[in-house]
Structure 1
Amino acid sequence: MTLKKTLRHRLLSIMAAAALPWAGLLAPVAAQPLTDADRALLDMRQAFAKNNSAQLRAALPQVLGHPLEPLAAYWELKARLETASPDEIRAFLNRYAGTYYEDRLRNDWLLLLGKAANWPLFLEELPRFRMNDDREVQCYALLAQRDRQGADAAQQVRSLWLAQKKADDGCAAAAQYWLQTRALPAETAWHRARWAMEYNQPAVASQAVGMLDPAWVSLVNTIHTNPERYLDEKVTAIRTRTKELVTLALIRLAVRDPQAAAEEADKLRWRTQLTTEEQSWVWGVIGKRLALRLSDEALAAFAKAQNRHLNDDHLGWRARAALRAGAWEQVEAAIAAMSASQQAEPVWTYWLGRALQARNTPDSRKQATALYQRIAGAAGFYEQLALEALGQTITLPLAPMPLTAAETQAARDNPGLQRALKAIQVGLRSEGVREWNYSVALHTPGGMGERELLAAADLACKHEVWDRCINTSTRTQNEVDHAQRFPMPFKDAVIKRAREINLDPAYVYGLIRQESRFIMDARSHVGASGL
């Protein structure tokens, strides 16, 4: 049994022993009875899921005046957005101005306008888009203004396109344009296809390669289905296209069977015909897959790749494999090859410090100390490890000043937070969570300030929406309220039952927090449900 399976088995056993006898004690706070309008709203969600425009239109009058009317009106219009007139859409935007659903519909409309290349309307509406967090809209914006873009536009498109997880229209259209102008090199499309093969996204791989030549799409599909056959039938890889297709096949094979991929990649014909960059990418995937299996052969696979050709994800797994083996020189080399942004993450800052410390020279020890000092603090796990490495005591930051009456009242009066709580109360949890997150992070540029976040978290705590309480409170950087971040609902019942079964209550709370964030209807990856 693998370590991962063993941990899952133990976790499930503990949760079964600890949680099931508490079912009666930990029942959620009694919900308010649903009104007719609440029930109509729940029916509308089902109709929206089925794209039943007629049912949505018929039900909408029943929820007029309801706190969640903006949501109901959004569902009704979104279901027929492709045929709605600009005047009708603007009427919705004006009526529900300032709400999450106004900006949500604007996002949807911008995607339609971009797909239709209706650039005048698109550019007119774009500045009003408050969330501005949709990569596809950002790609359309670059495409809409392509004649006025500078030399860095192609690089912006590259970053956005490579970050997209699915095959979309906006970033694909922008990438296609800049590929045709040759401002974006063909290797960008191949890199996207490589990522897609590694993450089992055949539609993404086909879309990317199809931009270079539609005739190659069938080959990509064949590779995804049966990479072994494609590799067996290939002897030479002289042309760039063939080299890249062989690389895709080796990546796909590595995902399915890293041992077989290692044997294949080590064959003379691929070692002599693929470029160093192509081979490094393949060995990066093989090394990662072996590392995920806790295989001792992971480091040997990574050793056949050059760090300068590995992406941040593969470098991270090379560093992890080296840590597991105690190979500090390789840890240092892998982290040093990462991008500046990834190196700056506390986890890698700390481990680079440890690697330098292991070198044990006066200069390396001095460098390690400087790295620890850069991140040391009580904010996170690696920050605390850095404190310990410096010989300092981990202490909790001072609790923030109590919220004022004005601050708590402002949170209670926030219409977005109120709608979010109402949605959760009637059973529309996902919709409520989205509006809550929008209200605290995206409604205004930069999101809420720290005191506003504490007040919003306090509001969630008082309504026993513990996951939003925790999530909102952890957004603060300087004012840290541990009572919000680590709440203890049902304290008496938890402590009593934990002692009965000889478990540390702190461990039980940590387990519940990790698995469900105290969401009553949560379901974990090991099958446990409830708290």
Structure 2
Amino acid sequence: MIKGLWAGVALALATLSAVVHGDPGDERILAAREALRTGDRGTLEQLDRERGSHPLDPYVQYWLLSNKLVRPDPAPIIELTEFLLQDPDSLLAERLRADWLRRTVRDEDWSGFLRLYADLREPDAELRCHYRTARLNLGDTEVLAETRAQWMELTDSHVACEPVLRALATGGAVGADELWWRFRRQIETRSFAAARSTLAWLAAGEMPKLARLDHAVKSPEAYLDRLPANFAATRPGRELALTALVNLARQDDPRAAQVRFQRISDRLDHGERAYVHAILGHYGALARLPQASEWYRAAGDVAMSSEQRAWRVRAALRVEDWRMVESSIEALPAAEQARPEWIYWLGRARAALGRGDEAAALYRRIAGEPHFYGLLAAEEGGELFSAPTGNGAVTAGDTARAAADPGLQRALALYRLDLRTEAAREWNWALRGQDEGFLVAAARLALNHELFDRAINTAERTDARANFDLRYITPYRPLIEPQVHERGLDIGWVYGLMRQESRFSAPARSSSGAQGLMQVMPATGKWVAGKIGLPNYHPGMLTDPNTNVLLGTSYMRLILDGLDNHPVLASAGYNAGPSRARRWRDQRSLEGAIYAETIPFDETRDYVKKVMSNAVIYAAMLEGRPQSLKQRLGTIAPRPVEDQ
């Protein structure tokens, strides 16, 4: 039995070797991909007829069928059905169903849509909305009741949901007050086109003039300064004044909005005043204004978005008002209270209020989990982070299953052809529903092929407290360590930042143009090259790992020198720019964890937390001794007068 098992492993690995090291049909696959890009249906048809045994043959057929679906000709039903029957659980079958579903929407074939939709595994937001519309158009009125129950959750829904939402609004199932609340949330999220659509669902006598809406959005200060004396006589008049206040608070210092609010507050009702106070509290907290907590208090129990609720906690944290931290977290819905950050900060609040036993119970809920708050919670209980010993066991059977998996084989072939987007999709699809053994084997397979980002992402699907050798890999050490030591940087911090930036994918390129292992922007690379005297710099040099690490680590050193030699500030500066990291300090000393929690950019806030927790884990693994996250976070010095 053992001999047969290893024979299976050998066969799987031999097949895999052919996938990875090349195939005579590679040129045909690339030619088909180019024909799809240019819309050359004739070439696609010819290449599809040449089908052989290449692992990516299904892609040529899929590309041809997707090309046919977007054309005005009748959909090729027989060909589509045959393709779906070949491998109904594959990624390409899922993508073709989605393409075909969009075609049935275009053709208004709602019965056909429902038949296909039943087999779709992971519908996106657009198709979920079309599903509602299909049911409505076929007389299923239950969809109206279901959508009515989710009315406020669908404030930012895809435009494809509009037919069902409109039917609710114009049919009287939703009242004017709910329409106005939907409008408010859309204004807050700058979804102005959606807000205009919502207004169109109001009764004719309640609709404001759209020209006045545009004025309130584009020139809120001028709009408020020229409000007619009788603006508050109607609901539309008051709502447009609120719209202007929201936009002024977002675009400018919230204090400018407060001044104008005070002028008109006596003409607004209690609920409208509470709403404005929540808006002021939110934008005041983002601007790190000390009065943000007072504005939030004045808002009382007015309905708030999840973002506003979160910033109510952060506003209280910034001024270390632990009673308000506690009450604000306790006011969160249960699902939000269960998030690690609020469990931790509720524990901190209760400890500060003298209820240590309650705090300790909260810490125990997340202590030991390898994330920012799990590490902090463990430290509150006196436990520093130590890297777990031992690696996840992989059996010969697990290795054979991963090596022979058709989805992973297609992904590796796609990576070989540098079709990285398709490859990542194929890889992730192959992991769906897999057991721990398969996932660990797949992560090791990725690592063996130097697909470092796939190795990490796959390992993160496994037991959170195991497989640290796969979660926190240290590739490129001969390249990285000498440059880190030369610049006097902490190796754990550099690896922690690089892991967050690119997950060690040298070809990585962001939508904004950042490139390589350290995601260096071309302009930043040019500036750093000038600072360190790197001759003949040009953006193409960023694709070279050695140069990329040279520029990235040099930039880290320059930022660190300019930001109090503090890794929290420097991490924020690396992501959002040093000037922002400076401005986000307070007029007094601030605990590093509170600084991180109150960073106003969602991306940067998440980034800093992950970089700092990564740094602790890497340091524990590389140095072989326990590490303190709290010590690394330290204290952020007050903002200098010139930066205030």
Please, what TM-score do these two structures have when normalized by structure 2? 0.68
Q: Distance in 2 between matches of 1:49 and 1:184?
A: 45
Structure 2 equivalent of residue 201 of structure 1: 191
Q: Give 1:233 shift.
A: 4.1
Q: Distance in 2 between matches of 1:296 and 1:377?
A: 34
Q: Distance in 1 between matches of 2:22 and 2:219?
A: 53
Q: Which amino acid aligns with 1:183?
A: A
- Please tell me whether residue 493 in structure 1 is matched to residue 487 in structure 2: no
Closer, same or farther in 2 for the Cα pair 1:493/1:52, shift >3 Å?
same
Q: Distance in 2 between matches of 1:423 and 1:205?
A: 42
Which secondary structure state, in structure 1, belongs to the residue aligned with residue 393 of structure 2?
coil
Deviates more, 1:369-378 or 1:351-360: 369-378
Structure 1 equivalent of residue 62 of structure 2: 74
Closer, same or farther in 2 for the Cα pair 1:136/1:191, shift >3 Å?
farther
Q: Deviations over 1:5-32 (max 9, x none)?
A: xxxxxxxxxxxxxxxxxxxxxxxxxx98
Q: Give 1:506 shift.
A: 2.3
Q: Distance in 2 between matches of 1:230 and 1:77?
A: 53
Deviates more, 1:482-491 or 1:521-530: 521-530
Q: Give 1:484 shift.
A: 0.6
Closer, same or farther in 2 for the Cα pair 1:185/1:466, shift >3 Å?
farther
- Please tell me whether residue 457 in structure 1 is matched to residue 443 in structure 2: yes
Closer, same or farther in 2 for the Cα pair 1:79/1:247, shift >3 Å?
farther
Which secondary structure state, in structure 2, belongs to the residue aligned with residue 105 of structure 1?
helix
Structure 1 equivalent of residue 126 of structure 2: 136
Q: Give 1:120 shift.
A: 1.7
Written as runs of structure 1 = structure 2, the 5 A alignment for 1:29-108 is 38-39=26-27, 41-42=29-30, 44-45=32-33, 48-49=36-37, 53=41, 56-57=44-45, 60-61=48-49, 65-82=53-70, 83=72, 84-108=75-99
Structure 1 equivalent of residue 508 of structure 2: 522
Structure 2 equivalent of residue 469 of structure 1: 455
Q: Give 1:230 shift.
A: 3.7
Q: Deviations over 1:423-448 (max 9, x none)?
A: 2221211221122222223xxxxx32
Q: Distance in 1 between matches of 2:68 and 2:197?
A: 28
Q: Distance in 2 between matches of 1:465 and 1:316?
A: 37
Q: Give 1:148 shift.
A: 5.6
Deviates more, 1:58-67 or 1:199-208: 58-67
Q: Give 1:520 shift.
A: 0.7
- Please tell me whether residue 240 in structure 1 is matched to residue 235 in structure 2: yes
Q: In the alignment, which of 238, 248, 251 is matched to residue 253 of structure 1?
A: 248
Q: Deviations over 1:132-164 (max 9, x none)?
A: 4x2332333344445362785034542662353
Unaligned runs of 5+ in 2: 1-18, 526-541, 546-644
Given that 2:155 and 2:186 are in contact with CA atoms closer than 8 Å, whether structure 1 keeps it comes out as no
Q: Give 1:382 shift.
A: 0.9
Q: Distance in 2 between matches of 1:208 and 1:365?
A: 49
Given that 2:186 and 2:195 are in contact with CA atoms closer than 8 Å, whether structure 1 keeps it comes out as yes
Q: Distance in 2 between matches of 1:398 and 1:33?
A: 34
Which secondary structure state, in structure 2, belongs to the residue aligned with residue 448 of structure 1?
coil
Closer, same or farther in 2 for the Cα pair 1:330/1:99, shift >3 Å?
same
- Please tell me whether residue 371 in structure 1 is matched to residue 357 in structure 2: no
Structure 2 equivalent of residue 20 of structure 1: none
Which secondary structure state, in structure 2, belongs to the residue aligned with residue 309 of structure 1?
coil
Written as runs of structure 1 = structure 2, the 5 A alignment for 1:160-171 is 161-164=154-157, 167-169=158-160, 171=161
Q: Distance in 1 between matches of 2:52 and 2:194?
A: 42
Q: Which amino acid aligns with 1:257?
A: D
Which secondary structure state, in structure 2, belongs to the residue aligned with residue 326 of structure 1?
coil
Closer, same or farther in 2 for the Cα pair 1:425/1:156, shift >3 Å?
farther
Q: Which of the pair has more CA radius of gyration?
A: 2
Structure 2 equivalent of residue 309 of structure 1: 303
Q: Distance in 2 between matches of 1:34 and 1:311?
A: 52
Closer, same or farther in 2 for the Cα pair 1:492/1:173, shift >3 Å?
same
Q: In the alignment, which of 383, 400, 407 is matched to residue 374 of structure 2?
A: 383
- Please tell me whether residue 407 in structure 1 is matched to residue 398 in structure 2: yes
Q: Distance in 2 between matches of 1:476 and 1:159?
A: 35
Q: Deviations over 1:204-231 (max 9, x none)?
A: 3233333336975555444433333443
Q: Distance in 1 between matches of 2:506 and 2:36?
A: 25
Q: Which amino acid aligns with 1:158?
A: W
Q: Give 1:372 shift.
A: 1.7
Given that 1:416 and 1:439 are in contact with CA atoms closer than 8 Å, whether structure 2 keeps it comes out as yes
Q: Distance in 1 between matches of 2:40 and 2:325?
A: 56
Given that 1:473 and 1:484 are in contact with CA atoms closer than 8 Å, whether structure 2 keeps it comes out as yes
Q: Which amino acid aligns with 1:173?
A: P
Given that 2:340 and 2:373 are in contact with CA atoms closer than 8 Å, whether structure 1 keeps it comes out as yes
Given that 2:403 and 2:409 are in contact with CA atoms closer than 8 Å, whether structure 1 keeps it comes out as yes
Which secondary structure state, in structure 2, belongs to the residue aligned with residue 128 of structure 1?
coil
Deviates more, 1:52-61 or 1:374-383: 52-61
- Please tell me whether residue 298 in structure 1 is matched to residue 292 in structure 2: yes
Q: Give 1:276 shift.
A: 4.2
Closer, same or farther in 2 for the Cα pair 1:219/1:354, shift >3 Å?
same
Written as runs of structure 1 = structure 2, the 5 A alignment for 1:421-432 is 421-432=412-423
Given that 2:293 and 2:312 are in contact with CA atoms closer than 8 Å, whether structure 1 keeps it comes out as yes
Q: Distance in 1 between matches of 2:20 and 2:442?
A: 22
Instruction: Give the percent of matched residue pairs that are identical in Structure 1 and Structure 2.
Output: 32
Q: Which amino acid aligns with 2:126?
A: E
Q: Distance in 1 between matches of 2:217 and 2:41?
A: 38
Structure 1 equivalent of residue 327 of structure 2: 333
Closer, same or farther in 2 for the Cα pair 1:212/1:106, shift >3 Å?
farther
Q: Give 1:101 shift.
A: 1.6
Which secondary structure state, in structure 2, belongs to the residue aligned with residue 212 of structure 1?
coil
Q: Which amino acid aligns with 1:253?
A: L
Q: In the alignment, which of 339, 343, 349 is matched to residue 337 of structure 2?
A: 343
Given that 1:280 and 1:305 are in contact with CA atoms closer than 8 Å, whether structure 2 keeps it comes out as yes
Structure 1 equivalent of residue 219 of structure 2: 226
Q: In the alignment, which of 431, 448, 452 is matched to residue 434 of structure 2?
A: 448
Deviates more, 1:290-299 or 1:414-423: 290-299
How many residues in Structure 1 have an aligned counterpart in Structure 2? 488
Closer, same or farther in 2 for the Cα pair 1:521/1:300, shift >3 Å?
farther
Structure 2 equivalent of residue 211 of structure 1: 201
Q: In the alignment, which of 513, 523, 528 is matched to residue 499 of structure 2?
A: 513
Structure 2 equivalent of residue 503 of structure 1: 489
Closer, same or farther in 2 for the Cα pair 1:39/1:261, shift >3 Å?
farther
Which secondary structure state, in structure 1, belongs to the residue aligned with residue 159 of structure 2?
coil
Q: Give 1:103 shift.
A: 0.5
Closer, same or farther in 2 for the Cα pair 1:503/1:152, shift >3 Å?
same
Q: Distance in 1 between matches of 2:150 and 2:507?
A: 40
Q: Distance in 2 between matches of 1:273 and 1:86?
A: 63
Q: Distance in 2 between matches of 1:440 and 1:275?
A: 54
Q: Which amino acid aligns with 2:321?
A: A
Given that 1:336 and 1:343 are in contact with CA atoms closer than 8 Å, whether structure 2 keeps it comes out as yes
Q: Give 1:454 shift.
A: 1.4
Closer, same or farther in 2 for the Cα pair 1:172/1:148, shift >3 Å?
closer
Q: Distance in 2 between matches of 1:421 and 1:197?
A: 45
Q: Distance in 1 between matches of 2:488 and 2:62?
A: 51
Q: Distance in 2 between matches of 1:272 and 1:55?
A: 71
Q: Give 1:193 shift.
A: 3.5
Q: Deviations over 1:49-89 (max 9, x none)?
A: 56565665565556765423333333333344244243343
Q: In the alignment, which of 176, 186, 197 is matched to residue 166 of structure 2?
A: 176
Given that 1:40 and 1:63 are in contact with CA atoms closer than 8 Å, whether structure 2 keeps it comes out as no
Given that 2:391 and 2:469 are in contact with CA atoms closer than 8 Å, whether structure 1 keeps it comes out as no
Q: Give 1:464 shift.
A: 1.0
